[in-house]
């Protein structure tokens, strides 16, 4: 793998770009691995990378049923932030944000991480109090957070709709270190970096069954043959329940729902921040990609589904929210919209935990927050697999928390998965 640096760019520039090698190998599956990660999304790839990097476990395979970057890694709105308040969550997401800040150097791959500020508008005094509480908790834990009054907001983003009488904009809660990144680059960067450390990335390798021995999973049946793993990790958000039942483990506190995202035609620079119309208003978030497209999304499709395609009422709903907050978008044309299937959990928080099978580990339940979490998710999942006990930050992110009554419910929405958006 050729390293990206100034010397290689110049050298290849003079030689017709002929010395670049492929980004990662396409190996044949070996018979057995120390660790097999099922799911070649951002979380699976990051886990494999940190297993090799932090724990020196390099005999690792990542099984991907499709191709790298074809699942939810390519179906998100690329927002990175750490504005969480529950114990465990804020430390975890703050660590994730810190990993993002150095990720391009870490992976030798430009993930185009842009800390352009995440601006959550609020629309009522109650919403202001509520969001102030969350952002104060963030400050107490050392995360950057601030409130912008209307005057500051109007100066920073002059073209929002400040005349909306139903949901008047009163100000915004802002995290300046938040922003977004290039989703494909993150997947490719982790795949390339993991591969360089010796990880086998096996694409078009769908898991079809498990063989159990003495209570453990001995081998995995796949579309590319039988693969043995001493330890096995699930990182297949969206399809976690399917794999869980394939391993005969019963039910999970998860429902699969789909979330749509939208991309418009490219326009000249229009929006320098990630703007969220979300606290005491509708649910809508928008940013502008480096290419110029407006990238935005809204609510779930409101019914359980494994279909990777969205419904039309939500397209209308999102368009209405866009017009309510950003009327200058009225004549912009939509280029594409798509849906990703997500694990929506019963309390809106994730799982990085052991399972009833002693050599199986679970990484699942990312709700709306999978993209931003991926570096820390890989970090702590690798830590769990290597050390066989969870780090303090994720000690309650397990399946037993519901029976114990220690749900990690950021929104306080209760046990209805679709309400945790």
Partner 1 sequence: MIRINCPYCGERDHSEFSYGGDATINYPSLDALEKEWTEAIFFRKNIKGFQFETWHHSNGCRMWLVVERSTVTHEIKSVKPCHPDLQKVVENNK
Query: Closest approach of Cβ 207 to partner 1, in Å?
Result: 14
Q: Where are the beta strands (DSSP E) in 64-133?
A: 79-80, 118-122
Contacts of 150 (CB under 8 A, 6+ apart): 162, 169, 170, 171
Contact residues for partner 1, defined by CB under 8 A: 239, 241-242, 245, 250-256, 302-307, 311-313, 346, 402-403, 415-418
Question: Which residue number, 250 or 330, has a Cβ lying nearer to partner 1?
Answer: 250
Question: Which residue number, 72 or 219, has a Cβ lying nearer to partner 1?
Answer: 72
Query: Closest approach of Cβ 241 to partner 1, in Å?
Result: 4
Question: Which residue number, 20 or 402, has a Cβ lying nearer to partner 1?
Answer: 402
Query: Closest approach of Cβ 47 to partner 1, in Å?
Result: 23
Query: Closest approach of Cβ 346 to partner 1, in Å?
Result: 5
**Whole-angstrom Cα distance, residue 351 to residue 343?**
10
Contacts of 109 (CB under 8 A, 6+ apart): 4, 185, 188, 189, 192, 193
How far CA 88 is from CA of 54, 95, 410, in Å, comes to 21, 11, 11
- Cβ-in-10-Å burial (0-12, 13-18, 19+) of 137 comes to middle
How far CA 255 is from CA of 123, 337, 348, 352, 420, in Å, comes to 31, 22, 11, 17, 11
Contacts of 177 (CB under 8 A, 6+ apart): 82, 97, 101, 115, 143, 144
Query: Closest approach of Cβ 239 to partner 1, in Å?
Result: 8
Question: Which residue number, 149 or 320, has a Cβ lying nearer to partner 1?
Answer: 320
Dig out the tokens for 284 from the structure.
């809508």
Question: Which residue number, 19 or 303, has a Cβ lying nearer to partner 1?
Answer: 303
Question: Which residue number, 383 or 410, has a Cβ lying nearer to partner 1?
Answer: 410
Query: Closest approach of Cβ 402 to partner 1, in Å?
Result: 4
Q: Beta strand pairing status for 225-234 and 60-63?
A: unpaired
């Amino acid at each position: 793998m050729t390293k990206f640096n100034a010397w290689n760019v110049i050298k290849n520039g003079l030689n017709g770009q002929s010395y670049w090698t492929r980004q990662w190998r396409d190996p044949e599956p070996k018979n057995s691995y120390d660790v097999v990660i099922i799911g070649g999304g951002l979380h699976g790839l990051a886990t494999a990378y940190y297993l090799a990097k932090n724990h020196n476990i390099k005999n690792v395979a990542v099984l991907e049923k499709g191709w790298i970057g074809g699942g939810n890694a390519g179906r998100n709105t690329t927002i990175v932030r750490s504005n969480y308040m529950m114990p465990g969550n804020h430390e975890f997401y703050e660590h994730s944000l810190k990993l993002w800040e150095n990720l391009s150097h870490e992976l030798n791959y430009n993930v185009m991480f842009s800390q352009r500020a995440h601006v959550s508008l609020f629309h009522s005094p109650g919403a202001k109090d509520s969001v102030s509480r969350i952002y104060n908790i963030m400050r107490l834990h050392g995360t950057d957070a601030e409130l912008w009054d209307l005057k500051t907001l109007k100066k920073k983003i002059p073209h929002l709709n400040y005349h909306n009488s139903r949901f008047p904009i009163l100000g915004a809660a802002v995290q300046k270190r938040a922003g977004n990144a290039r989703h494909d680059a993150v997947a490719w960067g982790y795949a390339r970096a993991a591969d360089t450390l010796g990880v086998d990335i096996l694409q078009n390798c769908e898991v079809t069954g498990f063989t159990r021995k003495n209570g453990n999973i001995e081998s995995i049946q796949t579309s590319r043959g039988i693969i043995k793993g001493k330890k096995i990790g699930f990182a297949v958000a969206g399809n976690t329940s399917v794999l869980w039942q394939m391993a005969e483990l019963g039910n999970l506190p998860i429902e699969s729902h789909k979330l749509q995202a939208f991309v418009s035609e490219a326009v000249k620079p229009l929006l320098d921040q990630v703007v969220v119309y979300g606290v005491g208003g509708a649910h809508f978030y928008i940013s502008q990609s480096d290419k110029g497209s407006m990238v935005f999304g809204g609510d779930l499709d409101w019914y359980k589904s494994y279909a990777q395609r969205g419904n039309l009422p939500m397209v209308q709903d999102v368009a209405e929210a866009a017009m309510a907050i950003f009327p200058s978008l009225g004549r912009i044309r939509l280029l594409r919209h798509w849906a990703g299937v997500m694990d929506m959990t019963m309390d809106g928080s994730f799982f990085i935990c052991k399972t009833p099978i002693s050599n199986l580990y679970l990484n699942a339940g990312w709700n709306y927050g999978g993209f931003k979490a991926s570096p820390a998710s890989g970090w702590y999942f690798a830590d769990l697999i290597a050390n066989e006990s969870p780090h303090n930050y994720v000690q309650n992110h397990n399946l037993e928390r519901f029976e114990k009554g220690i749900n990690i419910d950021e929104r306080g929405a209760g046990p209805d998965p679709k309400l945790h958006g």
